[in-house]
Chains A and B, each alone.
Chain A
């Protein structure tokens, strides 16, 4: 190999590597690549010009040229990575935003808190073996009262201020979800385990704690061995699922014509742990609903033998549960449907 060729290659190498080191950004890199390794680049032209050399010099010059090509390509490759990374960094820097700006809001609404509570209760009770069923909102007095041991012309009926529907017979807006007790039992053989959520209606003046339309959830279990201790266990489980693992249930003697014994049940206040605070009005307890053992007359009324079967029933106020859990202090908010209220339930449950 002629020394001049060798010299030329050495000179090209030195210059190329020096230029590459001088290429400080991606565009400069691109130019370098074009200058040396591109189709019309110096090295490419050199290699293409090998044919013009004398035959005996060609192999040596070719080996040297290809070796230099590999070297420059490798140098370009590593240099290119660095330049590309730097370029990207620069790009990203220019693309920075104020990450504390609010997100672009998707158009998402919210389910009503009452629906959310009903679905949650339905799920809790499904896990306890209770099926969710629904009943009519317009009901006969037969189911709303008579079969529940609330006879006509008995003062017990006054407990439910009733809205009557202008239809033949005594047709009412159901005053509670309890009529479904009788409807379910009439249609099923024991064992029975159901919960019945839904709207109920009372002829009642509205204030912060009274609504003429609200929601209840009725529970009913009937079998050969159902006891009041089972009732307490199920309600305690409910209270713990809704209000936290350490909650306790308290029974207080109360009167509902369709249960005997009858109680109302309360959960110890989660805010103060039962010591008494503003939320529980210093009592340490929050009333959840009414419950008891299904009255023998109710069982007999649907053809169940009260000597064989026992059952428990309970009723919860859906709005009340939500109020207890979220601190809403005016029941009218639920049918008020103010978006400023509803929006706050986007993340509830």
Chain B
């Protein structure tokens, strides 16, 4: 809502600067978003008188104007079609900063004297666009006849406009008068109401002038018929106020309706009465199949829930939203039917939404306007119209208002103020604050009786009254206290704790946590789908994917059942400037549940790609650069085993016992994919992304490994940390080199080793994988270091020899392995 202060100050003198006024209103709930000064940059622009207009000697479309400003008379070359001698105009001299009239938008440039077709132009006569008043650039701005020649234009036309954001509850302040009333209350200054004569003396219209057939949607309708109207442009002062407030002037009749809407907050509409069949108004729901062409020249289908204004034959306006072209006021109009009415907020809102047509009128109606505003606004508009059209007169007035709204009364215990605010307010303070806002307030024992003006439909409860008093008194008087009373026990959320543990672990593993968008791209859906469905750890049938109805980007409408594509996208973006990335995210996935709301399962997703270490600052002797002993394919790039190491670290931290088994996934490398199993429950999936899939996602040069773990499942599977002892006897480490067939998975070897070694083996670690002539073709040697510890004794050589024999036998039996000497 744009409030020109020149207009605002018709109603109140606050004595405040624009900044102070904006601040005062902002603190009280009317947020000032912007203060603009019209004429701020108008240095070197003056009021000039066009003394003479002559043709340009050398150009058909240009003229030479002699413009007088003060003592000087200057020659100006212009192409303005509307220039005429005797006009008062805005004359810009060299150095003036003006907006370029010939380009879109607002581009400032500095005026320089120039020669146009051989004639020197000593200045410029300005259009509204060049002055920044409006987009108008067809002709020059013509000022009122009483503009003082030679005066700086800013003194004559300058203004300050404060732009307020009007929250949905503040319909009473959705007008210049409403904001002035707030300011008057806040500053404790008197409010001057505009001249709005009563219409009660006017001749009453015929009984059928207005008929309300849908009283549930239209509680009040007033029509004023004004005859002898001459439709013409509005006077400059009116046009200027509309422009400053952000509306385009159209003609005097339409401008008056807009002017009064801005001033009072009551939307009005003017019909050409001669184009109303039967000359009458019927307020009714639209008929089946009924259509209307609205003022924006759209043909609109109306539903039977649409409230329309109709004449005897057809709909002529969508009530509270927009008028129709059939009854539009035009240059030929002589008799105007002025509508000032009240429409049900829900109905206007529903219609505006259904028609996708938000107007200044609908924005006000949908907030619930005071029904008692109707006649004041009609009177004000009538006054203005009669003033602007000499010879016009009120022919008839009809006001249908079957159930007048009366002020609401609220009875409340006075201690309610202290109960909510935590500070005692003096009764006189409260009564005074409410009175300033136009509320009646009476102390009655320990109660307060409040009479709420009907414009304040938002005040219905004691709490509303408390707020009204508090915002006038000011919140800075509130003390700072801490809540007293019983504190409920503060329990920690176990999922939050596990998330933090997992996050700490992965950060310690070099991971950077991401927060990515929750939607998937259509292309991701294709990459992560197979016959079973779409997803990664959790899959969803294609037709069961959750979709957004109005996604921010239309090709990203799927709510993700997996984080993997999101992390791959982040990885791809970062690999443009990073040599390696280790990323992870802990977030929800969204899975259909059959209930009202989807199931939101929290997962941990990891992605790694690129070089393991950023730069070899310490040379190739850095152990972490290569791990060729165990993983012969290692080339210094992050791969499956780096990923698996982090996954294991997470599961260890969470104390979840798992095993890894080969698995498949449509997006993953067929030979480098594993499922994470806890018992028979699959709680994770990891692997390297297929090169073709990675390429499709923009990663072409390196392996990408991804994993997803179900955090909620980990929460269920956590094992307690129990039986922790400090070992009393020294451990004994022995190495076992096990030669097995190439196809034997390491996990089987380890399992056999552990089974045979029994509880004495406190750790089993693979430290070397050897292939070569010493073990024969199609065979490999896996070297493990096993640490033996007994809780109650030092282990003897004899015992260890026995264990070694047992291990040898078990390996042979179970997996056909042999111990290498």
Contact = CB atoms under 8 A, between A and B. Distances in A.
A230 to B, nearest CB: 4
Contact of A109 (B490, B582, B598): B582
Contact of A233 (B481, B488, B508, B515): B481
A225 B349 contact: no
Interface stretch (A4-12, A47-55, A154-162): A154-162
B420, B467, B483, B510: residue with the most chain A Cβ atoms closer than 10 Å: B483
Contact of A255 (B29, B418, B420, B614): B29
B421 interface: yes
A173 B548 CA distance: 9
A295 to B, nearest CB: 7
A320 to B, nearest CB: 15
A170 B574 CA distance: 38
B512 interface: yes
Contacts of A262: 467
B312 interface: no
Interface stretch (A25-33, A37-45, A68-76, A337-345): A337-345
Interface in A215-261: 215, 221, 223-230, 232-234, 236-237, 249-255, 257, 260-261
Interface stretch (B382-390, B472-480, B651-659, B715-723): B472-480
A191 interface: yes
Contacts of B421: 227-229, 261
Contact of B420 (A139, A227, A251): A227
Contacts of B511: 109
A263 interface: yes
Contact of A126 (B463, B471, B490): B490
Contact of A253 (B28, B496, B508, B547): B28
B191 interface: no
Contact of B167 (A104, A107, A128, A254): A254
A134 B493 contact: yes
Nearest to B553: A212
B329 interface: no
Contacts of B478: 228-229, 232, 251
Nearest to A297: B461
B546 A252 contact: no
Interface stretch (A56-64, A83-91, A114-122, A267-275): A114-122
Interface stretch (B58-66, B127-135, B499-507, B770-778): B499-507
Contacts of A192: 488
A144 to B, nearest CB: 11
A98 interface: no
A180 to B, nearest CB: 13
A257 B460 CA distance: 13
Contacts of B600: 136-138
Contacts of B551: 163
A183 to B, nearest CB: 11
A16 interface: no
A252 to B, nearest CB: 5
Contact of A134 (B27, B495, B504): B495
B144 interface: no
A193 B489 CA distance: 9
A169 interface: yes
A111 interface: yes
B349 A221 contact: no
B421, B478, B516, B617: residue with the most chain A Cβ atoms closer than 10 Å: B478
A193 B510 contact: no
Contacts of B436: none
6 contacts: A114-B515, A139-B597, A173-B518, A252-B27, A261-B471, A310-B419
Interface of B: 26-29, 31, 167-170, 345-346, 349-350, 363, 366-367, 418-423, 461-464, 466-467, 470-471, 475-476, 478-493, 495-496, 500, 503-504, 506-518, 546-552, 559, 570, 573-574, 577-578, 581-584, 586-588, 590, 596-598, 600, 613-614, 617-618, 622, 624
Given A112-B512, A137-B518, A227-B419, 4 more contacts: A109-B513, A136-B597, A223-B483, A253-B471
